[in-house]
Amino acid sequence: MGASYQNMMLLEASLDAATAALADFTGWLAAERDVVVLFLDDEGDPFDPALPRSVSEAIDSPVVRFSVFDDEVLTCEVWRQGQLAADATTQDMGEYMGLNPDELAGIEEAASMAGFEAALASGAEAFASAVSRGDQAAAVAALSSALHEYHPGSQEELLRALDLPTFAIGWDYGRLRAVGDTYSGPELIDLSA
């Protein structure tokens, strides 16, 4: 089994504004240019949609979450003011997990009853448009290419196309806690400090 991780990028956000807005959260922030990366304490369920929803409600900037599952499935979401604005994934999770339609329907129903927002499955073009920066055509091409053959470099291609920092690839809160001494990105700001 490959690596699974997720982190969020706060677009057009200052480190000071992010630190103030997210003071009630546990995690680390790191900034590069006009993007603040959030490594949120997500040890309960790192893929819980309540996490980006609550972050996007707390800060007045778009929140982009990148989730990688088993080094094979990349999911990208854009959240604004608590609402999922666009999403794209490199592989259908139901197909990847071998779930039949009844199992998928049961999962979707349980998620809806728990108050989780359903994935929009809006696709590469809608995702790139919602991020609204960098070379959108190159971003769509990177995501479309990843649909056919995802590899760890696919996320880097996408981030470069969208003019987003690449230092967060492979990192999340749990990995930083476990082996943070090998992290070489921008300075980490502890939200609990």
Torsion sign (Cα): 173, 82, 164, 149: positive
pLDDT in tens, 75-92: 889 999 999 899 887 765
Q: Considering the domain boundaries, does residue 140 fall inside one? A: no
Residue 169's nearest CA partner among 21, 32, 16, 24 is 32
Q: Considering the domain boundaries, does residue 169 fall inside one? A: yes
pLDDT band at 187 (very low <50, low <70, confident <90, very high): very high
Q: What range does the domain containing 20 cover?
A: 5-118+165-190
State the Cα–Cα distance between residues 192 and 29, nearest whole angstrom: 11
The pLDDT of residue 91 is 64
pLDDT in tens, 8-53: 999 999 999 999 999 999 999 999 999 999 999 876 565 677 788 8
The pLDDT of residue 190 is 95
- For residues 179-193, b (16+ Cβ closer than 10 Å) or e, as one string? eeeebebbebbebee
Dihedral-angle region of residue 177 (phi above 0 means left; psi in -120 to 50 means alpha; beta otherwise): alpha
- Residue 17 CA: distances (Å) to CA of 6, 8, 54, 114: 22, 15, 16, 31
Task: Tell me the average pLDDT of the chain.
Answer: 83
Q: Considering the domain boundaries, does residue 159 fall inside one? A: no
Q: Considering the domain boundaries, does residue 105 fall inside one? A: yes
pLDDT band at 131 (very low <50, low <70, confident <90, very high): very high
Amino acid letter at 155? Q
Q: Considering the domain boundaries, does residue 143 fall inside one? A: no
- Residue 193 CA: distances (Å) to CA of 24, 31, 132: 11, 17, 33
* Number of domains observed in the structure of the chain: 1
Find the helix or strand (DSSP H, E) in which 66 lies. strand 63-69
Greatest mean pLDDT among 48-52, 74-78, 135-139, 151-155 lies in: 135-139
As a whole number, mean pLDDT of residues 52-79 equals 88
CA angle 93, 97, 101 (to 5 degrees): 75
Q: Considering the domain boundaries, does residue 135 fall inside one? A: no
Task: Give yes or no for residue 147 having a pLDDT over 80.
Answer: no
State the Cα–Cα distance between residues 9 and 39, nearest whole angstrom: 9
The pLDDT of residue 70 is 73
State the Cα–Cα distance between residues 67 and 75, nearest whole angstrom: 5
Q: Considering the domain boundaries, does residue 158 fall inside one? A: no
- For residues 136-150, b (16+ Cβ closer than 10 Å) or e, as one string? bebbbbbbebbbeeb
CA 152: distance to chain centroid?
15
pLDDT band at 123 (very low <50, low <70, confident <90, very high): confident
Q: Considering the domain boundaries, does residue 125 fall inside one? A: no
The pLDDT of residue 75 is 84
Q: Which of 31-40, 140-149, 163-172, 177-186 has the lowest mean pLDDT?
A: 140-149
39, 28 contact by CB (below 8 A)? yes
As a whole number, mean pLDDT of residues 153-159 equals 88
Task: Give yes or no for residue 105 having a pLDDT over 70.
Answer: no
